[in-house]
Amino acid sequence: MGEFELIRRFFAAASCAQAGGEVALGIGDDCALLTLPAGEQLAVSTDTLVAGVHFPDPCDPSLLAQRALGVTASDLAAMGATAIGFTLALTLPQAGADWLAAFAGGLNQAAERHGLRLIGGDTTRGPLSLTLTVFGRVPAGAALRRSGARPGDLLCVGGSLGDAAAALPLVLGQQQLPAALAEPLLARYWQPQPQLALGQALRRLASAALDISDGLLADAGHIAASSGVALCIEQARVPLSPALQLLPREQVLRGALSGGDDYRLLFTLPPEHLAELQAQWPELAVLGRVEVGCGEVRLLAEDGRELPQPVGGYQHFGQDRD
Amino acid sequence: MGEFELIRRFFAAASCAQAGGEVALGIGDDCALLTLPAGEQLAVSTDTLVAGVHFPDPCDPSLLAQRALGVTASDLAAMGATAIGFTLALTLPQAGADWLAAFAGGLNQAAERHGLRLIGGDTTRGPLSLTLTVFGRVPAGAALRRSGARPGDLLCVGGSLGDAAAALPLVLGQQQLPAALAEPLLARYWQPQPQLALGQALRRLASAALDISDGLLADAGHIAASSGVALCIEQARVPLSPALQLLPREQVLRGALSGGDDYRLLFTLPPEHLAELQAQWPELAVLGRVEVGCGEVRLLAEDGRELPQPVGGYQHFGQDRD
């Protein structure tokens, strides 16, 4: 059996993990075919992960697959979309059966968890990289956008921040921590959990949303710019997970403010919807508020004083990540 | 201006080349949004092209972009889909302004020619490669499949074969030809023309179809296997372009039978539709017929004798192309 045939067999499980639904035709012809329910739109997003730029090489292939699918599916969450499926373009220098089995296992596990079915792809030889394109559906006109934030709205985040940034020195082998401390951090890095259900709930409540991939301050800037407002973030309200409480506070805070890879939803919310949402999503936190402005993001101390923002101090994995 | 900002500006033209239509939201948010007309399905296909495997490196960036989009859009033609848009995941080691301008120029030109709008993408640093995902629409249930060929149908091809194979030694710098001879061949390699209009016309006529990317015999095998039939190809009926008539006949024939990259549609057709189709598409050729069988492809001489098929004799660009 050729190795590309081997790859197809390994990936067959993910292509069948979710039955029927919007996938009228999956892998095996020139195109996949998707059917949308009446009144729904298709949401599409593409992400590429390159070895040595977006992940260390070598790394655990199962974790790589889980990270790649989680990262890409997070864009569906950010639009409030319901997951349908994905294509995988996998380029790899050679394909050992062990590597492929582990990769396919991780991919299938993440696909099932996120409700995504593998509908097509391409496998090519070359330097290791992955491009995933994800598909979701959303009622026409109801997708969450970055551009709807209005002065008076609250600025909220879907959960704690900074874990993935704290994991990065561990991922890079620059730091060692006891397993009990390291494991939850590494899980946040390698197995990001796109907040798909929260995104769907936000469709009729939030005024703007995105997922935090580049860091809280940078991504808040995207909402502020798209909406033509200012966002004020109270530093003391940035939620940190218990896993971070044993690490140096300055490092933790910098990671939570400027570190990427958390894949929490950041959104703006008319205040009257807060109680309803918190009842169902107790882990969400109010970070601050939307004010009149032109794309500014302000970081505030508890006394309302504006704080300097960490600039360029945070090490992404790879200098030129984009 | 950062180079990734530069890239975004260069690509802006392709994202606006086609107005509105099915693209409800293009580049700039977490996802693009597509709207489908009632009763239509979305067709999706992904292709990756890696430097040194699928194209020589260095090469003309404008031609590279045109080839990448043509190759990928050909999968839409093979399903009979109408083009909507595409995403581009571009990984490149560095981004000189000249390279980017030329690449974007070629991309925009091909996007306009094929009716495709750039709706999203990702730009990353790494070894040069491109992954394109194309989107089209097709009336529900009307997509051309590989599996519908029936004994008694004719086997047809959308135009001449072998030009791209004959171009390969030129592309690789292994052969030199006078410009008048080389140029039409190189154009077929670098600027493949997906047969989108023919594919749409075939939706109500053909019983099975695909596009020839791996070579006539190999791709005929896919229709034969999917449909559970035998395909008989009369070697003398394989159409060769005038550009090939000055080259050695054995090389030309081998390229036409086993060389990839032609991106002509190969399809099976109930005989009663031939006259109608030929009136509109005079360049199409009947290659043979569909017979009872189990996935075989037979190559026949004019006297009906079965001919040996060229095996492994054709050099794809890169050994492990898939």
Query: Using a CB-CB distance cutoff of 8 angstroms, which residues of chain B are in contact with residue A49?
Result: 124
pLDDT of residue B10: 76
CA angle A2, A123, B104 (to 5 degrees): 150
Tell me the C-alpha to C-alpha distance, in Å, between residue B205 and each of A235, B80, B264, B269. Answer: 65, 11, 17, 7
Q: At A6, is the pLDDT very low, low, confident or very high (cuts 50, 70, 90)?
A: low
pLDDT digits (tens, 9 = 90+) for A22-55: 999 988 899 999 999 999 999 999 999 999 999 9
In contact, A169 and A244? CB cutoff 8 Å: no
How many Cβ atoms sit within 10 Å of the Cβ of residue A167?
25
Tell me the one-letter amino acid at B1: M
Is A312 a known ligand-binding residue?
no
Q: Yes or no: say if A85 and B282 are a contact pair by the CB < 8 Å rule.
A: no
The answer to the question of whether A146 is labelled as a binding residue is: yes
pLDDT at A72 over 90: yes
pLDDT level of residue B316 (50, 70, 90 thresholds):
very low
Residue A90 pLDDT > 90:
yes
ipTM computed for the complex: 0.91
Q: What is the pLDDT of residue B74?
A: 98
Residues B15-72 pLDDT 10s: 764 446 899 998 889 999 999 999 999 999 999 999 999 999 999 999 999 999 999 9
Is residue B238 predicted with pLDDT exceeding 60?
yes
Q: How far is A30 from chain B (nearest CA, A)?
A: 5
In this predicted structure, the answer to whether residue B83 has a pLDDT above a threshold of 60 is: yes
CB-CB contact of A104 with A10 (8 Å): yes
A146 within 8 A of B29, measured Cβ to Cβ:
yes
A163 is in an annotated binding site: no
Site of tokens 């077929």: B188
Q: Rounded to the nearest 10 degrees, what angle do helices B179-190 and B163-171 cross at?
A: 100
Residue of A33, A75, A78 with shortest CB distance to B43: A33
* B149 vs B221: CA distance, rounded Å: 12
- Domains in chain B and their CATH numbers? 3-139 (3.30.1330.10), 154-300 (3.90.650.10)
List pLDDT tens digits, range B180-237. Answer: 999 999 999 999 999 999 999 999 999 999 999 999 999 999 999 999 999 999 999 9
Q: Is B14 helix (H, G, I), strand (E, B) or coil?
A: helix
Per CB-CB distance under 8 Å, the chain A contacts of B89 are: 46-48, 89, 131
Concatenated DSSP letters of A182-227: HHHHHHHHHS----HHHHHHHTTT-SEEEE-SS-HHHHHHHHHHHH
Of A225, A193, A209, A182, give the one whose Cα is nearest residue A266.
A209
Residue A121 assigned as binding residue: yes
Beta-carbon separation of B42 and A33 below 8 A: yes
pLDDT digits 0-9 by tens, B103-147: 999 999 999 999 999 999 999 999 999 999 999 999 999 999 999
CA distance A276 to chain B (A): 25
Which chain A residue shows the shortest CA-CA distance from B8?
A: A322
Residue pair B191/B71 in contact by the 8 Å Cβ criterion:
no
pLDDT in tens, A150-175: 999 999 999 999 999 999 999 999 99
